Structure 1
Amino acid sequence: MQRQYKAQRGLNTGLLLLFGQIYQVGLNNIPPITFATLAVNIYLFLQPLKPLEEVCISVSEGFYRRDWHRLYLSAFHHADDWHLYFNMVSLLWKGIKLERRLGSMWFGYIITLFSVLVGIVYMILEFTLAELLENPSFIQSCAVGFSGVLFALKVLNNYYHPGGSSSLMGIYVSNKYACWVELIAIHLLSPGSSFAGHLAGILVGLMYTMGPLKTIMKACAGGFIFPTVFSQQRNNNNPDYRYSGYASNTQRDYNPYTAGMNEEEQVEWAIRNSLNDTGNSARHYHDERRPYGFWLPPEEPSHEELRRRRLQRFERW
């Protein structure tokens, strides 16, 4: 979310770079809800429904004046082309991973609900700050942009794809804490960004991953929408993951090696071939293996044959 905004004018370099990124990824590789969300944000940037000062969300406009339309309009409007570019590139990466993981229906449900919830939590935070600090400017602080929702999606992405690390200004941070470090870094490097808006996104994400929000969403869906469950191992305590046990349960196909015979038939075939192969010499016994997996040695020599071989060995010495 962005607190300070300006008129959109001149060459939209950020928009051109965004189109380049989308082309590089490929339209066929972008899931439908992610693509639709990109399209809505781009369209409303080029053809905004209202001026930014009439769609931004604040305690004053959203709560006191009951302009509830701002709750969903504010998330899909951006201050300038670079604001749009950075948010949409982030959405492109997160959306592809999460939509493939959760399914398009559930991911669309998340985008729709989170866009409104982030605005609600943002107003609660700004109202709390105004009361605690006795500073009425927080009541008037107005924000636009999709970055609050993106922070919520970042929390979900770290939940469904745990582990790994992210590079923030050359410093590698565990993905578990990356959203908090990014929250502080953006606030320090870009004072015009909305700290409360980004924090609202993180809190909404935590409400989903650690709180009751996901359960409430499932109950409200009435059984018509469910997150997709993949057969992969994440955590024994996570109900969204089920380990398939592929390595222990899957039978390999050995037919090319056994000619379709079961174990008993293979043993019988091996014994029969061993008994019938009486023409092989001792040299074949040592130097040549049968085509099947195991085989029987030739008959043991008689006592007289052993005595003869010992005499020959002594003669050579």
Structure 2
Amino acid sequence: MHRRQKGSNIGLFLLLSQIFQVGVSNIPPVTLAALAANVFLFLQPMKRLDKTCISVTECLYRRDWHRLYLSPFHHVDDWHLYFNMVSLLWKGIKLERRLGSFWFGYIITIFSLLIGVVYMLLELAVAELLDVPSYKQSCAVGFSGVLFALKVLNNYYHPGGSSNVMGFIISNKYACWLELVAIHLLNPGTSFAGHLAGILVGLMYTMGPLKMLMKACSGGFRSQTDFSEQRNRYNSENFRYPGYPSHSSRDYSMYTGGLNEEEQVERALRNSLNDRGPRHYGNERRPYGFWLPPEEPSVEELRRQRLNRFERW
């Protein structure tokens, strides 16, 4: 969420250039549709920004609920659009491929509405606690609140790694909190409450009841992640060899190196591409992934080795 004045269209051209560099065919459908909707509404806004931005006064008190779904998809200027959409491009590619297009589109829809509600509650709470009514009139637009929520999801589904935020190397798990403060300090015109609302909604999904509620309201639909989790749970708990005792709590990380299914496949492919020519592992631990034993010597090779042994004697 953001509040700036509209400028040139250089950011729009850079965004289009970035999209074509990635390749339209490489962008999943929901991510591409969200990009297209934001660009279209930037070029042809449905209403003026003062009619689309969300605030406690306009939305809650005056009951202009249309602002809940209009505010995330309208941007103040081309640079505002550019930075938000580039972030959406990379987060969307990773998350939509992981979760599936239907579920990712469902997340975008629910998050866009819910973040607006949480934003108003935060502004209302601050206004009442500090006795500053101006917070109720604070009006914001933009997609960055949703992007902060997607960042929480991305760190949840792709754990590990670190980020450089203002020269500080910090785990991706906590990077969103440092970015929340850093963005507000570097650009005071941004909406701190809007970004915080995004983080809170993301945490409600990954650590709270939001994901369960969304599943209940989706009519039993399961995302690709659910099928993957169910398959992994079946493979690790329910499969039994005949004649062997059950070990429901058995640790299989010793066989997988602690890697999940996707990481095992990626490691196997990397090993197969790097495996050029003979290697001798000896007593060293073999690399993860698919591994084939050395070829058995032919009859002629065995015969030659036997003759050489006799010659040495």
CA contact (8 A) 1:165 1:173 kept: yes
Q: Per the alignment, in what secondary structure is the counterpart of residue 96 of structure 1?
A: helix
Q: Is residue 66 of structure 2 the alignment partner of residue 69 of structure 1?
A: yes
2:134 matched to which residue of 1?
A: 137
2:29 matched to which residue of 1?
A: 32
Moved more, 24-33 or 126-135: 24-33
Given the superposition, is the C-alpha separation of residues 252 and 175 from structure 1 closer, same or farther in structure 2, using an over 3 Å criterion?
Answer: closer
Q: CA deviation at 1:24?
A: 1.1
Aligned equivalents of 1:281, 1:197: Cα separation in 2: 75
Q: Per the alignment, in what secondary structure is the counterpart of residue 54 of structure 2?
A: coil
TM-score, with length taken from structure 1: 0.75
Aligned equivalents of 2:162, 2:178: Cα separation in 1: 12
CA contact (8 A) 1:165 1:175 kept: yes
Q: Structure 2: 5+ residue runs without aligned partners?
A: 233-250, 252-258, 269-288
Aligned equivalents of 1:192, 1:102: Cα separation in 2: 34
Q: Is residue 183 of structure 2 the alignment partner of residue 186 of structure 1?
A: yes
Letter in 1 for 2:190: S
CA contact (8 A) 1:230 1:242 kept: no
Q: Is residue 119 of structure 2 the alignment partner of residue 122 of structure 1?
A: yes
Partner deviation per Cα, 1:70-115 (whole Å, 9 max, x = no partner): 0010000001000000000100111111111111111000000000
Q: Per the alignment, in what secondary structure is the counterpart of residue 49 of structure 1?
A: coil
Given the superposition, is the C-alpha separation of residues 285 and 193 from structure 1 closer, same or farther in structure 2, using an over 3 Å criterion?
Answer: same
1:220 matched to which residue of 2?
A: 217
Query: 5 Å matches for 1:159-178?
Result: 159-178=156-175
The alignment of Structure 1 onto Structure 2 pairs a total of residues equal to 265
Q: Is residue 31 of structure 2 the alignment partner of residue 49 of structure 1?
A: no
1:5 matched to which residue of 2?
A: 4
Q: Per the alignment, in what secondary structure is the counterpart of residue 132 of structure 1?
A: helix
Aligned equivalents of 2:297, 2:115: Cα separation in 1: 62
Aligned equivalents of 2:96, 2:311: Cα separation in 1: 60
Q: 2:153 aligns with which of 124, 134, 156?
A: 156
CA contact (8 A) 1:52 1:77 kept: yes
% identity of equivalent residues: 65
Aligned equivalents of 2:45, 2:306: Cα separation in 1: 91
1:198 matched to which residue of 2?
A: 195
Q: Per the alignment, in what secondary structure is the counterpart of residue 141 of structure 2?
A: coil
Runs of 4+ in structure 1 over 2 Å off: 224-233, 241-247, 250-259, 280-288
Q: 2:89 aligns with which of 84, 87, 92?
A: 92
1:15 matched to which residue of 2?
A: 12
Letter in 2 for 1:156: L
Given the superposition, is the C-alpha separation of residues 255 and 167 from structure 1 closer, same or farther in structure 2, using an over 3 Å criterion?
Answer: closer
Q: CA deviation at 1:169?
A: 2.3
Aligned equivalents of 1:34, 1:140: Cα separation in 2: 32
Q: CA deviation at 1:28?
A: 1.5
Q: CA deviation at 1:253?
A: 7.2
CA contact (8 A) 1:101 1:230 kept: no
1:110 matched to which residue of 2?
A: 107
Partner deviation per Cα, 1:135-174 (whole Å, 9 max, x = no partner): 0001000000000000000000000111100111232211
Letter in 2 for 1:166: S
CA contact (8 A) 1:77 1:144 kept: yes
Q: CA deviation at 1:68?
A: 0.8
Q: Per the alignment, in what secondary structure is the counterpart of residue 184 of structure 2?
A: helix
Q: CA deviation at 1:284?
A: 3.8
Given the superposition, is the C-alpha separation of residues 184 and 282 from structure 1 closer, same or farther in structure 2, using an over 3 Å criterion?
Answer: closer
Q: CA deviation at 1:29?
A: 1.2
